[in-house]
Every structure is written in structure tokens, then in C-alpha cells.
A = this chain, B = another copy of it.
Amino acid sequence: MADDSLFEFLHMEIVSHIFNEQQSNKGELDNKDRAACISLLEAMGFRVGQGLIERLTRDTPSFKDELDIMKFICKDFWTKVFRRQVDNLRTNHQGTYVLQDNKFTLLTQFSGGKQYLDQAPKYLAFSCGVVRGALSNLGLESVVTAEVSIMPSCKFQVVIQKL
């Protein structure tokens, strides 16, 4: 659908804008520069996630516990935002959750396999932020990271920060 393409294309533009800009300021990017770009994208995602979850939970009754929230993220939120449900949710029941998406929407434009694995973090930072922002507005502070071992499958790890 074009609506989705619109988001996807804009997302690609913003990733390349942020990296190019850093590069034109600094020349060759070292790990620290790359981390700064990633964290900028993550911060944008965070604010977008906060906005999205407010709209999406407008008519949702309140959640009974943390697992209930995570299930909502994996089903309703993921479907609306990334157009499919998470394929698998695992937890150690101590605040760590692993969300496995076997066909993550922002990675489907890459060739499958391992060829572009080193590019993956750029294209996942925004989404990690979206998840963290959504959780934050539901009262859960978390650290969200993503890991790809074979495209377009992706594992998001959510570690809830206990106060």
C-alpha cells in the first residue's frame, strides 16, 4: 500500500539524511559518530512511539500487568505500526522480553541473508525508539535493542527497568 510506502520511503530518507549530515560535518564516521546518529534516530522514534500509543490505547481498557502490556504491544500495536503481529514473544518473567518478528517490515526491502547485516542497526534504531516510547507512555521504562542474524528476521529485546 502506498500509505505504508510513504512511511517507509520517508524513513529511508531520514536515515540517510542523518548519516550523510554527520558525515559532511565530520568526514569519515567513527563508531562514536555512528552511535550519535543511531541515538538521534532512536530519540525520534521514542517521540513517535509516545504519540502512537496514545492514539492506539484511547479505547482500550487499562492493562492488568506488565505481561498484559507486552501482549498488547506484540499484537495490536505491532499490527497497526508494523503491519503484522510479532511471531514469538518470550520472557524470563523477570522483566526481559524477546519479541521475534520473522519478517520485519522495515527490513523487507533488503536482500535476504547476511549480505547487508552491517546496515541493519541504522534501520532498526527508529523502531527501537518507537517501542520504548510506547512502553514509556504505558508506565514502563525500558531499554530496547534489536538484533538481526538473518534478514528480514529481527529480534527485539526489551528490558524493563525496575524503579
Please list the residues of chain A having a beta carbon within 8 angstroms of any beta carbon in chain B: 1-7, 9-11, 13-14, 17, 21, 40, 44, 47-48, 51-52, 55-56, 80-81, 83, 126
Inter-chain CA distance A14–B52, complex, in Å, is 16
Q: Is the interface of A mostly helix, strand, loop or mixed?
A: helix
Cβ of A52 and Cβ of B10 under 8 Å apart? no
Inter-chain CA distance A1–B14, complex, in Å, is 22
CB contact between A10 and one of B3, B44, B55 (< 8 Å): that residue: B44
Contacts of A1 in B (CB 8 A): 3, 80
**Known contacts A3-B4, A55-B2; A48/B80 CB under 8 A:** no
Question: How many copies of the polypeptide does the oligomer hold?
Answer: 2
Q: With CB as the reference atom, state the residue of chain B lying closest to A76.
A: B2
Q: How far is the CB of A36 from chain B (nearest CB, A)?
A: 12
Cβ of A44 and Cβ of B56 under 8 Å apart? no
CB contact between A9 and one of B4, B14, B17, B48 (< 8 Å): that residue: B48
Cβ of A3 and Cβ of B83 under 8 Å apart? yes
| Candidate in A6, A14, A56, A83 with the most chain B CB atoms within 10 angstroms | A6
CB contact between A81 and one of B6, B17, B40, B48 (< 8 Å): that residue: B6
30 sampled A-B residue pairs with Cβ under 8 A: A1-B3, A1-B80, A2-B52, A2-B81, A3-B3, A3-B4, A3-B7, A3-B80, A3-B81, A5-B51, A5-B52, A5-B55, A6-B7, A6-B52, A6-B81, A7-B10, A9-B48, A9-B51, A9-B52, A10-B10, A10-B11, A10-B14, A10-B44, A10-B126, A13-B44, A13-B47, A14-B14, A14-B17, A14-B44, A21-B21
